[in-house]
Amino acid sequence: MHTFERVSDREFHFAGRRILVTGGAGFLGSHLCERLLSLGAEVIAVDNFYTGQRRNIYHLLSNPNFEIIRHDITFPLYIEVDAIFNLACPASPVHYQYDPVQTTKVSVHGAINMLGLAKRRRCRILQASTSEVYGDPSVHPQAESYWGSVNPIGPRACYDEGKRCAETLFFDYWRQHRLPIKVIRIFNTYGPRMRMDDGRVVSNFIVQALKGRPITIYGDGSQTRSFCYVDDLIDGMLRLMSTPEGITGPVNVGNPEEYTMRQLAELVIKITGSQSPIVTMPLPQDDPKQRCPNIEMAKRVLGWRPTIAVADGLAKTISYFRDVLVSDTKGADSDAFAE
């Protein structure tokens, strides 16, 4: 935890504030917008809809305190706000590797533009960083003091190094301009509003199980991940943003309970009641063997720890995907009938 000379010991409250959320139509962004509105904030969501989905924010459009702007943050944005949550960036390998140059631009140019806006407004800004900054770690579990082990020229580097550079920019703005920053390192998060095609393990397993298709695990399935339900993650994000200005992070937020990929697949099969078999495929390049957060700092500084058990969170997520699959099937049937 960096505790440079404090700018202010004032805590931040959301009620009555105008809050900008980049990536606001995404999985995490839409949940954040919803929570901020419930706290009495006025929310401006910005999204270019590369991975964000209108269905994620449709229920918010009638709220007079919510606004959505279609914009790519690799270009400057001129707007009057009281705080910024910078979540804009494709977060799944399928999407960030599809256009790796743009992924790096979003992380780096996007950070520069949002930091510039925060500097002009003299407002606090939170960077949604990632456990990917630790790469394929040689330290387990990963604490914030660990510098990571990242391949800077591999296929995942556009995201890993982009996020690392964004953290560098945030801390340089703190040191050089005393801009009140917050950096959260997000570990695997899941829940309703994930995209079915994002290629992440939870969504992959659930969709495959619900469709009765083989569940694909990579390697022998012994690699581990930790899974944090979205409500817990958003709570940690809000707590960090609310801390006094001198508390900058980075802070790990995630569930320290580890699951192997095979264990997760078996749990999804059990909850869905699927008959899907488990099949193996080659392990992708630079795929981490272990990923688990040390959350002692989050406990101490934020008073935060996850509260939702993985099985309970999976049940909610499975229910969401089941509804989406039914809805999409009905939509396809009605379109076919209309033709």
Please state whether beta strands 224-226 and 258-260 pair in parallel, antiparallel, or not at all (unpaired): antiparallel
User: Does the annotation count 159 as an active-site position?
Assistant: yes
Whether residue 153 contacts residue 119, with contact meaning beta carbons closer than 8 Å, is answered with no
Specify the 3-state DSSP secondary structure of 138.
Answer: coil
**Catalytic residue (choose from 50, 96, 159, 229):** 159
Q: How far is CA 66 from CA 33, 40, 75, 109, in A?
A: 8, 11, 22, 26
Query: Residue 301: what are its φ and ψ, rounded to 5°?
Result: -85, -35
**CB-based contacts of 43, cutoff 8 Å, min separation 6:** 19, 21, 24, 33, 36, 37, 60, 65, 66, 67
Spatial separation of the C-alpha atoms in residues 109 and 91, rounded to whole Å? 16
At position 294, the amino acid (one-letter code) is N
Rounded to the nearest 10 degrees, the angle between the axes of helix 230-242 and helix 27-38 is 60
Instruction: Answer for the pair 234, 35: CB distance below 8 angstroms, yes or no.
Output: yes
SS3 sequence of 49-105: CCCCCHHHHHHHCCCCCEEEEECCCCCCCCCCCCEEEECCCCCCHHHHCCCHHHHHH
Q: Which residues are catalytic?
A: 159
